């Protein structure tokens, strides 16, 4: 494993970088001339944000939605990794797990490189605080996915200048509590350092993004009072609001909306920075004529009929999330379910969508805050925040629910609000409901699958264990 981390933690400057800030990619600058000016740190951060494109493009959608009752595979030739997710039978060779592990540790490495070099370069305190705050956020962001998916993972909080330094560093997996401590401290610092920084893009870290992610961390670790406090601080910023039109959150020309707290930047135009949501969400039909050039998808992650049929009557989110029929080249329409979110209907190039992926948004803040209130004896007040989200969806308010009933109502609301955004697996595991929900789903649909106790964690990628057997595997795999 140390050899792998050598390559992924030092050679990170070879990764592709987005040009959304019009900065020169880090890999085009020699190491001797890099990290010499504030501009270099901006460039390094661009590369670090760009690395998240690959994390959300397919891997976290499959791990977050395809492993649940939300979606199914309709592809005639599904990938092995997709079939494993669909059956909740993931193996240590799963490509999506390899992707999350490698990209996350590369993100951590880039963050560590930035943090270790800040004090050696002349810049204003404001610049230093911003760059440090952004790097800390990104490190925490990566670790939060790692710890939830894999449990104990190595904690690397230093920058390596030589192979010898890596070989001497303790790369063993650290306890979950230690990993969460790193995440919490990084986000607390990030929120403070970025406080008052103006002109930040929604695809950059901010105080609001750091506090929103911290609120999610506190919910996950069942520190509900702390979650309630920090999420209320996000609400009180009055920086964010629900977009009146739910559909616009996922369509062209609507990036940087007031609801967005943190988003992943994608660029169309065949520049290698586009997303693949059209490929994985659209049906695998060769006679589909819905795109320029008659481009069709692969049908890799499509709504289950149970999901499509379970929206409340009048829920405006359904039409924005799920398509019921496809237009054929002949001009006729045929019934078929498919996902609509983030699908770019303006490009004729497969895997070249230019719609940003909103990783954190204000609806999540409101529903998480309602959950924290409900868990801290404020169930009546929690209804208000649940109903704010329901109102935007065109639904009547929920009233008079007790704690247990409201918890289920919030779980259900999140299912529809964040469909195809990769939340479902994390939500159900966080609340301890994953096995119950999935085993009932399999039973109801006559499927001979089940979720065992150990499957609330994913297996450590086999290639890591092959390199370092001492890394160990999660129980049951």
- Predicted confidence (pLDDT) at residue 27 exceeds the cutoff of 90: no
pLDDT at residue 286, as a whole number: 54
DSSP-derived secondary structure for 350-397: TT-B-PPEEEEEHHHHHHHHHHHHHTTT-HHHHHHHHHHHHHHTT-PP
Other beta carbons within 10 Å of 220: 19
pLDDT in tens, 411-443: 999 999 999 999 999 999 999 999 999 999 999
Quote the tokens at residue 200: 């930040």
Instruction: For 112-153, write each residue's pLDDT tens digit.
Output: 999 999 999 999 999 999 999 999 999 999 999 999 999 999
CA R_g for the chain: 22
Question: 3-state DSSP call for residue 124?
Answer: coil
Give pTM, 2 decimals: 0.92
d(CA 186, CA 132): 10
The CATH code of the domain at 2-198+205-237+457-471 is 1.25.40.390
Of 10-19, 57-66, 325-334, the least confident: 10-19
- Is residue 247 within 8 A of residue 345, CB to CB? The reply is no
Write the DSSP assignment of 290-315 as a string of letters.
SSGGG------SEE-HHHHT-SPTT-
- At 16, the pLDDT band (50, 70, 90 cuts) reads very low
**Does 360 have pLDDT greater than 50?**
yes
Taking residue 270's Cβ as centre, other Cβ atoms within 10 Å add up to 12
- Nearest of 9, 213, 3, 191 to residue 106 by alpha carbon: 9
CB 114 within 8 A of CB 44: yes
């Amino acid at each position: 494993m140390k050899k792998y981390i050598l390559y992924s933690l030092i050679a990170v400057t070879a990764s592709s970088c987005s040009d959304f800030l019009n900065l020169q990619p880090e890999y085009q600058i020699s190491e001797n001339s890099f990290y010499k000016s504030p501009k270099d740190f901006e460039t390094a951060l661009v590369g670090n944000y760009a690395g998240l494109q690959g994390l959300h493009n397919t891997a976290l959608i499959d791990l977050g939605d395809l492993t649940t009752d939300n979606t199914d595979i309709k592809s005639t030739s599904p990938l092995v990794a997709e079939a494993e997710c669909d059956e909740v039978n993931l193996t240590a060779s799963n490509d999506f797990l390899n992707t999350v592990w490698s990209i996350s540790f590369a993100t951590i490495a880039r963050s560590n490189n930035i943090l270790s070099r800040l004090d050696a370069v002349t810049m204003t305190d404001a610049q230093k605080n911003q760059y440090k705050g952004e790097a800390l956020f990104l490190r925490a962001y990566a670790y939060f996915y790692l710890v939830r998916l894999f449990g104990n993972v190595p904690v690397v909080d230093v920058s390596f200048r030589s192979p010898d330094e890596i070989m001497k560093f303790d790369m063993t997996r650290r306890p979950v509590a230690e990993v969460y401590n790193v995440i919490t401290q990084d986000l607390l610092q990030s929120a403070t350092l970025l406080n008052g920084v103006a002109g930040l893009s929604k695809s950059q870290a901010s105080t609001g993004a750091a506090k929103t992610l911290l609120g999610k961390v506190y919910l996950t670790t069942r520190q509900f009072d702390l979650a309630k406090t920090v999420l209320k601080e996000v609400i009180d910023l009055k920086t964010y609001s629900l977009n009146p039109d739910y559909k616009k959150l996922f369509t062209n020309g609507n990036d940087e909306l007031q609801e967005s707290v943190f988003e992943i930047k994608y660029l169309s135009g065949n520049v290698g920075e586009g997303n693949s949501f059209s490929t994985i969400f659209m049906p695998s039909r060769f006679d589909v004529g819905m795109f320029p050039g008659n481009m069709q998808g692969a049908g890799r992650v499509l709504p289950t009929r149970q999901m499509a049929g379970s929206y409340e009557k009048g829920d405006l989110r359904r039409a924005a999330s799920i398509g019921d029929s496809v237009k054929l080249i002949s001009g006729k329409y045929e019934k078929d379910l498919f996902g609509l979110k983030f699908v770019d209907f303006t490009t004729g190039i497969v895997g070249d969508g230019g719609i940003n992926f909103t990783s954190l948004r204000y609806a999540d803040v409101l529903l998480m805050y309602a959950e924290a209130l409900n868990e801290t004896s404020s169930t009546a007040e929690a209804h208000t925040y649940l109903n704010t989200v329901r109102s935007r969806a065109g639904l009547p308010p929920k009233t008079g629910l007790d704690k247990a009933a409201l918890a289920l109502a919030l779980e259900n609301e999140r299912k529809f609000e964040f469909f195809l955004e990769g939340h479902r697996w994390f939500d159900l595991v966080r609340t301890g409901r994953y096995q119950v929900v999935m085993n009932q789903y399999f039973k109801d649909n006559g499927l001979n699958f089940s979720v065992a106790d150990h499957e609330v964690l994913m297996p450590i990628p086999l290639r890591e264990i092959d390199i370092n057997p001492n890394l160990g595997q999660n129980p049951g795999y």
